[in-house]
Amino acid sequence: MLMTTLDAFLEQYPSFRSTQILDDLRLREYGRLDRGHHVYLDYTGGGLYAELQVRQHMAMLMDDVVVYGNPHSSNPTSQTSTEMDESARHYVLKYFNASPDEYCAIFTANASGALKLVGEAYPFERHSHYLLTFDNHNSVNGIREFARAKDATVTYIPVNLPDMRVEEDLDPYFDLAGPGPATGRNLFAYPAQSNFTGVQHPLDWIDRAQAKGWDVLLDAAAFAPTSHLDLSRWHPDFVALSFYKMFGYPTGVGCLIARREALAKLRRPWFAGGTITVASVQGDKYYFAEGEAAFEDGTLNYLNLPAVEIGLKHLESIGIETIHERVRCLTGWLIENLFAMRHSTGHRLVRLYGPPSIDRRGGTVTVNFYDQNDRAIDHRQIEKLANAANISLRTGCFCNPGGGEIALGLSGAELSQCFRKPEYESRFTVDDFRICIDGKSTGAVRMSVGLVTNFTDVERFLEFARGLIK
């Protein structure tokens, strides 16, 4: 009897069978994927929601005896909203095993909003350091502008080709904090998982950095959807999250999980409704509220916060380890098969940016495609062809310029030259950038598997890729 492709996959990844619950769940709660013949490979961009999440949330909102009001009051409808929102806050901490005595959960619009809260309020000063890896989302890179505005030093840690990992001995960088006037005012930021390559950077950097006097900001937006972040084992000072990346619904709600001790260091540059106990116009003074309340500007997205708890319970009902194992198996198969594809000339179809194995990596796979003469195919053309095949993937540099610059071979010298040109003083478009770097690639193609990706999705994409072989 001939072995099918599925048989070969299961022989190589027998543990995939243990994730059968996700195939059943897809049929029951994500049926729109198959009804619409979609191949969704953009989980790093955004997760997908189960229909039950929406049904449960709508049932709450449509309860015929309950009315929800703005929570900034003590009236009955306000108290109802407050109770629901505080339940969601408690559940976020519970999900990540974060002790309420050590941590608090601050709701934001998204992970970027959480990162900005830290950046704008961190007590940078002249002798402070902001340390971060090349491999970071732009919302982490952007904190450097707050640091520089206060005369702090910004230092980037490079990533190394071909795996796009960082040298794991970071002590020379951590020693930069050293004893001095800025002791306790140095911030180290990195992603638990790269949104460019899928590399999972070591969580033990957290303890090692803190032992050298750094506060640690962990971007967990790409990590949390398919891996367990246990805040009883790891104790970063700040963690940024977006819930839609974890379970699709609701959008517009993120979170900063902050150690109370570290939160007390922050000094907000303004105050807003909801963040103060008392403010006076004539008295010209204000007093911040305590804890998370001082960082939640204006009125919370209070009707959507209960949907966060619903989404977290949905993930718990499946089990994050089950999700992680499915992603591990499908990612391995995707990488192995893509990497094996060659043109008739012998040239590889793709160049992979990141680890070629499933060791210490997530479900994000980033490549560029090459023709039979080993010339890069424009990533925008690949996206156009994928769109026609109803395959949702993502192209560009994914708001991670440091990772993209290393992967695509763009040097600091040529980039600096671009930004110094007088014609780009006030305006610099992507097309200008392409011209300036003399036609080098400005992006890549990213596929990411997630919660309800199945074997058929991956095979349909591989068939699409085979169609590019000449």
Residues forming beta bridges with residue 365, ordered by sequence position: 447
Residue keyed to tokens 């780009």: 424
Structure tokens at 362: 């997530």
CA dist 282 and 106 (Å) reads 31
Give, in degrees to the nearest 5, the angle at Cα 42 between 37 and 43: 110
Residue 266 near residue 120 (C-beta atoms within 8 A): no
Torsion from C-alpha of 292, 90, 321, 454, nearest 10 degrees: -80
CA dist 381 and 345 (Å) reads 22
Active-site residue flag, 104? no
Cis peptide before 250 (omega within 30 of 0): yes
Residue 226 near residue 450 (C-beta atoms within 8 A): yes
Which candidate in 104, 255, 397, 399 is catalytic?
A: 399
Q: Could you give phi then psi for residue 84, rounded to 5 degrees?
A: -65, -45
Torsion from C-alpha of 420, 402, 164, 370, nearest 10 degrees: -70
R_g of the chain computed on alpha carbons: 24
Q: Looking at the annotation, which residues are catalytic?
A: 399
